[in-house]
Amino acid sequence: MRLTDLPLRQPAYVDLIDWSVLTPSEGQRLREFGLCEGASVEALHHGGIFGKGPIACKIGRMTVAMRRNHAAAVTVRTGPEQEA
């Protein structure tokens, strides 16, 4: 499931990140925010009146805002934690 489809406030883990859809600097910034395979994520808020706005999500302890096209590059899985 993509991060964009993850129901709000349901804890999940990052399964896979498609770095190829991100520019190198965007990829780096997301990595610096702690985004990596195995990181815990939780979608908190979807912005935008027409559902096209950014997404606020929790990565580890940090809350981060990103656009949907970036969030769509992140595949997540719900269920028990695995080695990060």
- Distance, in Å, from the CA atom of 29 to the CA atom of 53, rounded to the nearest integer, reads 20
What's the N-to-C CA distance of the chain in angstroms?
18
Name the residue among 64, 61, 77 with its Cα closest to residue 16. 77
Name the segment binding another protein (CB under 8 A); options: 10-18, 21-29, 74-82: 21-29
CB of 40 to another protein, least distance (A): 10
CB of 5 to another protein, least distance (A): 17
- Distance, in Å, from the CA atom of 78 to the CA atom of 57, rounded to the nearest integer, reads 15
**Residues 22-41 within binding reach of another protein (CB under 8 A):** 23, 25-26, 28-34, 36
- Considering the rule CB under 8 A, would residue 82 count as an interface residue with another protein? no
Count of CA atoms in the C-beta half-sphere (13 A) of 3: 35
The residues binding another protein (CB under 8 A) are 23, 25-26, 28-34, 36, 44-54, 56, 60-67, 69-70, 84
